[in-house]
Structure 1
Amino acid sequence: MKKITSILTLFILSTAFTFGQSSPAYTEKLKTMFEVSGSAVSYKAAIKQMFLMFKKQKPSVPEDVWTEFEAEFLKTSLDDLVVMLEPVYAKHLTIEDLNQLITFYETPTGRKFAKKTPMIMTESMQVGQQWGTKIGKEFQEKLKVKGY
């Protein structure tokens, strides 16, 4: 569960590069930006991963219940997430900024970037883990040299 939560958090943070007005129009624009940027697909994949973990934790629950729950959460969770993230994005991005991001994501380069982002994120997390391990070892060695 911790790994899935970390992945979901990373997806949320990775999409939080975006700017500031709060309104139903802004929320709809944000949802569109999530869809064209590939973020919506990533969030849905994270939900599916969570359901796989839940199924392992509760194997006695019938498959039809899982199917019903998953369909419900896939349908409503992104809307809920957009509403929850909207104040964060509105603080940093204007509706015009969202329009420009949407325009970018509708270009061939934008579509390619959206398609490749999940793979880039996965590979980046692996590199980040290696980097963290390297820094941790160097830190430990420096402490050892200092007598700690």
Structure 2
Amino acid sequence: MRKWVGMAAGAVLALGTAGQVMAAQPSEKQVRQLFQVMHMERMFDQMNSQMAGVMGQAVPCVPASYWQGFIDASGSQQLLGRMVPIYQHHFSAADVAGLLKFYKSPLGQKVITQMPVTMAEGMKIGQEWGRERGQAMVRQLQQNGTLDANGRCPASPAATTPKPVPKPDH
């Protein structure tokens, strides 16, 4: 009897696990519909504009307008095409259906429009906090004598002034 109970429990676990693994994968059409509802191409345009600004500063000899075409319409479709299998791997058809329902709702649309601004503001606050926290930790290490006044390890070669190398006489 115990043997049968054990086998039955094993079968139930196996079937449950198989059911999770065998969840229907979303179709490419379903995933692309999700991308459309999420306004992914518009997000790519925003990323492209930000990247053009960054690249314009990083490589000032190249006009920022050059980088504006980094993610053009064709590139956008190529990138979305490469993202489809990722969504198919991580989300079931039921998951994507639920996401479609959510993102089509007024709240879902608000999330789409407000998330980039919210994340940008959060990143700014995070950078400020990180800078303040880092400075406080360095001050503490300096007070403990772990770091010198310049923020370097006292025993490191960079903390000492290098001696000039004498020129050989010819």
TM range (shorter): 0.5 to 0.7
1:115-143 Cα distance to aligned partner (Å, 9 max, x none):
11121121111111112112212321332
1:62-85 Cα distance to aligned partner (Å, 9 max, x none):
x8xx6xx83x94212222222333
Q: Write the letter of the residue equivalent to 1:76.
A: S
Query: Contact 1:21/1:91 (CA < 8 Å) preserved in 2?
Result: no
Structural mapping, 1:59-74, within 5 Å? 59=63, 70=69, 73-74=71-72
- State TM-score, norm by structure 2: 0.55
Query: Contact 1:30/1:86 (CA < 8 Å) preserved in 2?
Result: yes
Query: Taking every aligned residue pair, what percent have the same amino acid on both sides?
Result: 24
- State TM-score, norm by structure 1: 0.62
Residue in 2 that maps onto 1:13: none
Structural mapping, 1:83-102, within 5 Å? 83-102=81-100
Query: Contact 1:30/1:98 (CA < 8 Å) preserved in 2?
Result: yes
Matched, 1:33 2:34: yes
Q: Give the Å deviation of 1:101.
A: 0.9
Query: Contact 2:44/2:71 (CA < 8 Å) preserved in 1?
Result: no
Structure showing greater relative contact order (alpha-carbon pairs closer than 8 Å, 6 or more residues apart): 1
Residue in 2 that maps onto 1:12: none
Identify unmatched segments of 5+ residues in structure 2: 1-22, 147-170
Q: Give the Å deviation of 1:35.
A: 2.7
Distance 1:131 1:91 in 2: 36
What is the SS of the residue equivalent to 1:91? helix
Which protein is richer in helix relative to its size?
1
Matched, 1:58 2:56: no
Residue in 1 that maps onto 2:102: 104
Residue in 1 that maps onto 2:4: none
**CA 1:118–1:38 in 2, change beyond 3 Å: closer, same or farther?**
farther
What is the SS of the residue equivalent to 1:58? coil
Q: Write the letter of the residue equivalent to 1:124.
A: G
Identify unmatched segments of 5+ residues in structure 1: 1-19
Query: Contact 1:38/1:115 (CA < 8 Å) preserved in 2?
Result: no
What is the SS of the residue equivalent to 2:35? helix
Q: In angstroms, what is the RMSD of aligned CA positions?
A: 3.1
Distance 1:90 1:139 in 2: 44
